[in-house]
Copies of this chain bind each other. A is one copy, B any other.
Amino acid sequence: MATSPHVEPSPEDPATWPHVVVVGGGFAGLSAVRNLANKPVRVTIIDKHNFHTFLPLLYQVATAGLEPADVAYPIRTVFGHATNVNVRHASVTAVDQARNVVVLDSGAEIPYDHLVVATGATASYFNIPGASRYAMPLYTLSNARRLRNRLLRTLEDAEVAAESSSVALNFVVVGGGPTGVETAGALSELIDIVIKRDGLRLDPLKMRILLVDVAPRLLTAFPDTASSYAKKELEKMDVEVELGRSVVEVKDHSIVFSNGENLDTATVIWAAGVTASGTLADALDGPKGPSGRVLVGPDLRLVNSENVWCVGDAAAVPGVKDGFYPQLAPVAIQSGRHCATQILRVLAGEKTQPFHYHDKGIMATIGRRAAVAKLPHAGVIRGTVGWFAWLGLHLFYLVGFRNRLRVMINWTWRYFDWPSGPRLIVADAETAE
């Protein structure tokens, strides 16, 4: 099962080496392939995009602080010098676990000896009517670009409309986790910039940014002090934080809350949670964990498989006590690396080892010079120091050195409040192609 049936692997002949197929070029997939590069295996990484997306900074693209290319990096370029790695730009439509092949959208079949599923998660709408149709998620580069175009166009149109009527411009961010907090803060900065720097003739008093969550506090993964600090900082930026509120419906230009209130909206941004349901991982044989995630054993293999592994956000990895590890970038990176090591062990006839997550801390930024970080041994850091810690950590994780340099320039600019920024509406730039 774990090696090709007809050919005995020979150390001298790379064509006989076992074939590891990795589906997904996110943090987890990239990390797995990095640790398989230049080892005696043939590796094929398949992704529906030809680039890796740095998800933690997507909200910056959505709010015109960074450009798409700042948070994306061609997968081929990462592995250009690894002769045993093949990159395939395609969508995987099915996995045939009985025959050990993945099926591409072209119909082509790719056989594997080991399969690593690292297909991530997608926005969860919790079956709230209208949410998937009218709310805008923020989980792919495409999502971020659509949201940016929408926000910039709304502000442009509002200037014209302001001449004749008095439309209330309500931007609602649903979800008080890091993505929601970061997006609400960055949106406030964007509105500030377009009025002060671009001279858009808008009345700030007619614009509202609401951050709503059903939970009683923001950033529930952080200690209480971080939650109250984030709330205070957001309120300084004129973001209205509404906690303990649940959304029952999203419409084209309004949102309905559980208390019956119906609020007119310009845009509803959905940052309420993620799920692996409906993804390729969801279609794998075997039991599921929370949020449609694939249940894996301690070594990251599917509980009923010898040669199918699941890592990153798509996987429910048993952690300490009865819980699972959270869906975080560091967990994805570490699980990808662990999975690669285990595959090499299996191929060498060794026993697998259980995965343990080494907590690197969690962080969220609220705006220029304001961030919170929870570090494993240092407690909560906040303010400008937190902001620099956040910046450093994100730059450290950005894939290419050039991306880091570009992001650093953008951020330096933003820090010193200089007037530029990629506030381009490019929605009409792409058509049928």
Binding site for B on A (CB under 8 A): 49-51, 67-69, 72-74, 76-77, 79-83, 85-90, 106, 108, 141-142, 145-146, 149-150, 152-153, 156, 160, 194, 196-201, 400-403, 405-406, 409, 413, 418-431, 433
Contacts and interface: CB of A to CB of B under 8 A. Distances in A.
Contacts of A89: 153, 156, 425
Ranked nearest first, the 4 interchain pairs of A and B with the lowest CB-CB distance are: A76-B198, A430-B430, A69-B422, A142-B429
Contacts of A81: 199
14 contacts: A49-B425, A67-B69, A69-B69, A72-B426, A77-B197, A77-B421, A80-B419, A87-B199, A89-B156, A141-B429, A145-B430, A149-B430, A402-B418, A426-B430
Q: Copies per complex?
A: 2
Given A50-B156, A88-B160, A400-B420, A68 B198 contact: no
A47 to B, nearest CB: 11
The SS class assigned to the A binding surface is mixed
B77 A419 contact: yes
Given A146-B430, A146-B431, A430-B145, A198 B74 contact: yes
Contacts of A73: 420
Contacts of A69: 67, 69, 422, 424
B80 A423 contact: no
A422 B409 CA distance: 16
A431 B432 CA distance: 9
B142 A430 contact: yes
A46 to B, nearest CB: 11
Given A67-B67, A72-B424, A76-B198, 16 more contacts: A50-B423, A51-B424, A67-B68, A68-B429, A72-B426, A74-B198, A77-B198, A82-B199, A85-B199, A87-B198, A88-B160, A142-B431, A146-B431, A401-B420, A403-B420, A426-B430
Given A77-B419, A419-B77, A433-B149, A50 B424 contact: yes
Contacts of A88: 160
A423 B74 contact: yes
A364 to B, nearest CB: 26
